[in-house]
Amino acid sequence: MNYDFDLFVIGGGSGGVRAARLAGNLGKRVALAEEYRMGGTCVIRGCVPKKLMVYASTYSEAFRESAAFGWSHGEAVFDWPKFIMAKDNEISRLEALYRKGLTTNNVKIFDSRARLVDRHTIEIMATGQRVTAQTILIATGGYVAIPDDLVGQELCITSNEIFDLKEKPNSILIAGGGYIAVEFANIMHGLGIETTLVYRGDLILRKFDLEVRQLLAQFMADKGINIIYGSTIKRVASNDHGPKLRVTLSNSEELCVDEVLLAMGRAPNTQALGLEVAGVAVGQNGAIIVDKYMRTNVANIYAVGDVTDRVQLTPVAIHEAMCVVETVFRNNPTSPDLELVPTAVFSQPEIGTIGLTEEDAAKTYTNLEVYRALFRPMRNTITGNSEQTLMKLLVDGDTQLIVGAHLMGAGASEMVQLLGIAVKGKLTKQIYDKTMAVHPTAAEELVTMYHASYRYQNGIRIN
C-alpha cells in the first residue's frame, strides 16, 4: 500500500520534534501535527520558562548577600511585566528554531490537533483532512492533573498559567509536594511573594533521598516559606476584601491569598486521540503501553515521552525518539537505557541526584558504605547565610561501585550531569579517590571523602 507519509508524528514537543527532524534528515516523508505551539511542555510552559524564573528569583538573595562582599546599592525592585516580556521573547525565539529545524528537514507541519482513525490513518481535526502513514509516533506528553472533587478549581492556576500572569501576586498558595511544587515555592518566595506550600504527605519530594528531603524542607522553612503538611485544598472561593481568594483546607484552616497554584502531578495526555479505534492499548492511568523499543501493541504505532508515563523527563523523551528512528528507519533496533538517569530539582538550594536513595540502597546491598559531607560553602561564611551543602555517595562495599549519589547546593544540577557519566560508566570509588581535587570548589568533596561516614550491614546502620 502507498502511504502519504513514512512517518506521522502526533505532538510537537521535544520528543516528537526530534523524531520528525531525524527521520526527515534521512530523506523520509514526514509530517507532524501540533495543536498549540512547537516545543511542547518543556519549551513553552515547563523546563525553559521555569529555569528563567529560577534565575530571576535568585537575584533577591544575591543582592542582599552582596553587601557582605563590599557592595552597596539602593533597594532592588523586581519588574514582573518586564520579566514576562523577556521570557515570552525567548520562548518565541526557541519555538521559531524548532519550526526551522523541522522545515529545514522537509517535515510538513500541521498546526492542528490530530487523532487516529485507524492504525494507518490520521485526521487533521482543524480541517477534517485525512492522511495515511506507514509509521505513526505518538508524542503528546502529559497534562496537569486536577482533582475532580476540588470545589472552585476554576479559580486556580496551574504550571501552565503561572508563566503568563499579568501582575505579580502578593501571596500564593501552592498545592503539592513534588518537584514542580517545590521549585515554584522557591521561585515565588525569591520574587518577594508570600508563599505557602500545602502537601498531603508528611515531607516534600517523596521518593527522593530522605536526608535531602529533610534538609531542603528545613532550609525552605528557615527562609520563610510556610509549609503545611497532612492537608489538602478542600475549597477555593472568591474573597470580597484583600487577597482575591479564600481557601479552605482539609484540616479546616483558612487562608486568603492572591493565587492558588495546583501542582499535584501530571497525567498522560491520551484523551481523544483515537487510540481505541486504532486498537492501541493503554494502562489504568491512560498511559500508552510500549515495549522496550517504544512500540505499542499495534506494530506500526510507537509512543515516546510522558505519554507512556515511564520516566517523565525531557531528555528521556528525546533519547527515546532517537531510538525509534534507529529502530524503524535504520534497521537498528535500539532501546533506551533507563537505569541510572541523573536528574535535578531546581529548588534553592538545588538538588542533583542519580541512582538509589540511601534507604533503598541499604535494603538492596548487604554491605553499603555511605560517604557524606555536610558543610557551609565558602560563600556563606562571608554572608552569614546558614544554608549548607550536602554531598553523599552510596557505595556497594563488595564491588566499590557507586550505586547512588545525592547533591544539594549551588551548582548541584551541573555537578550531577558530570557525576552521572562516572556512575553510568561504573567507575569505582577508588577512581574517585585517585582523582585530584579542584580547589576551592564544592565539587572537590566528591573526590576527597576518603573514609566512609558510616555503613549498613544487612540493612542495619553501623556507625
| Catalytic residue numbers, as ranges | 439
DSSP secondary-structure letter at 164? Answer: G
Cell numbers placing 100? 526551522
Phi, psi of 392 (to 5 degrees): -145, 125
CB 120 within 8 A of CB 133: yes
Q: Which three-class secondary structure state does DSSP give residue 119?
A: coil
- Kindly list the strands in the beta sheet with 245-249, ordered across the sheet, starting from the edge strand earlier in the chain: 233-238, 245-249, 254-257
Beta-carbon contacts of 312 under 8 Å, excluding residues fewer than 6 positions away, are 142, 266, 306
Location of C-alpha cell 538509589: 356
- Find cell 557505595 and name the residue: 395
| Number of CB atoms found within 10 A of residue 229's CB | 15
Spatial contact of 368 and 428, defined as CB atoms under 8 Å apart: no
Give the Cα separation of 193 and 170 in Å (integer). 5
User: C-alpha cell of 46?
Assistant: 515547563
Residue 13 per-residue DSSP state: B
Asked if residue 159 lies in contact with residue 176, where contact means CB atoms within 8 angstroms, the answer is: no
**SS3 of 391, please?**
strand
**Cis? peptide before 440, omega within 30° of 0:** yes
Phi-psi region of 206 (alpha: psi -120 to 50; beta: other; left: phi over 0): beta
Cis link prior to 342 (omega < 30° from 0)?
no
